[in-house]
Amino acid sequence: MRHLLSINDLNRAEVERLFHRASDLKASLKRGQSANPLAGRSLALVFEKPSLRTRVTFQVAMTQLGGQALYLSAQEIQLGVRESVPDVARNLGRWVDAIAARTYAHATVEELAAWAGVPVINALSDREHPCQALTDLFTLWERGLELRSLKFAWIGDGNNNVCHSLLLLGALLGMPMKIASPPGYGPDPGIQSLVRSASGRFELTEDPKEAARGADVLYTDVWITMGQEAERAKRLATFKRYQLNEQLVRFARDGALVMHCLPAHRGEEITDSVLDGPQSIVFDQAENRLHVQKAILLSLLEE
């Protein structure tokens, strides 16, 4: 049984197929063409965390493919409290064709996959966010950009699930990354080891200007994510000079693209003028979550 728990569950050929399929699905939707390859199929959305893009895009994806999605909130299931994760997984596996799980701990996604008997998709965990990373690089790929030659800069918290998945996907596709983070906030050492073992190329720096200099792409994410609210004051002070603002964008090449996985804390990790500016492709990323996740669902369920 195949799952998508990590970028490491994919090889380069599979990623390329996903990109081409997402492109075809996007074009078909724009032309008003529809099909129902997943008619009669069901996807359970097991969400410990609230969501806008992940929930809506998975639900709409299943609807557009002819199936249905069932949203199960943290209050309804209470994973590991009202019922154990293995018991929830074994129940859902009897009723639905796949599970997309948005959890705090990556171990929860792995446990669901171990017991469900149906494909499980990591829709976000503390370790990785593979659907987002696939969408991000698809958004660059569809613009005709050569990923191997891009100068891709991550600015801010490197110990971040999106950053981790981008590092792993960059290693798979040959895209180098430069990551600027404060001391102690670099990518997880285990992720770094996996990237190195896959011959991935990345550089770590504490200087956001150094990372941004000559970059083709500037990417940032929130400094305070769900579960880190108690660290708010400390993090705001620590990350202050890592804000993606007009001054920092000037260090990148002319026309460099600005990316953010959203939601954004405007005025913290990114300014309004940059997020809403002409170089931002943030809402292209958000739109493409739908098309990439349709390709993922088809890849898993058609097998």
Tell me the domain boundaries of the chain: 7-129+289-301, 132-285
Distance CA 275, CA 3 (A): 34
Position 302 scores a pLDDT of 87
Distance CA 182, CA 185 (A): 6
Q: What CATH class is the domain 7-129+289-301?
A: alpha beta
Position 80 scores a pLDDT of 67
Residue-level pLDDT, tens digit, the chain, 303 residues: 499 999 999 999 999 999 999 999 999 999 999 889 999 999 999 999 999 999 999 999 999 999 999 999 988 887 767 899 999 999 999 999 999 999 999 999 999 999 999 999 999 999 999 999 999 999 999 999 999 999 999 999 999 999 999 999 999 999 999 999 999 999 999 999 999 999 999 999 999 999 999 999 999 999 998 777 888 999 999 999 999 999 999 999 999 999 999 999 999 999 999 999 999 999 999 999 999 999 999 999 986
The DSSP code for 84 is -
Of 66, 108, 100, 101, which is closest to residue 84 (Cα–Cα)? 108
DSSP 114-144: HHHSS-EEEEE-SS--HHHHHHHHHHHHTTT
- Assigned CATH for 132-285: 3.40.50.1370
Position 244 scores a pLDDT of 98
Residue 47's contacts (CB-CB under 8 Å, 6 or more residues apart) are: 54, 55, 71, 72, 73, 74, 101, 102, 123
φ, ψ (nearest 5 deg) of residue 43: -120, 125
Position 230 scores a pLDDT of 84
Residues known to be catalytic: 102, 129, 132, 221, 261, 289
Largest CA distance in the chain: 54
**69 bridge partner residues:** 43
Same topology, domains 7-129+289-301 and 132-285? Answer is yes
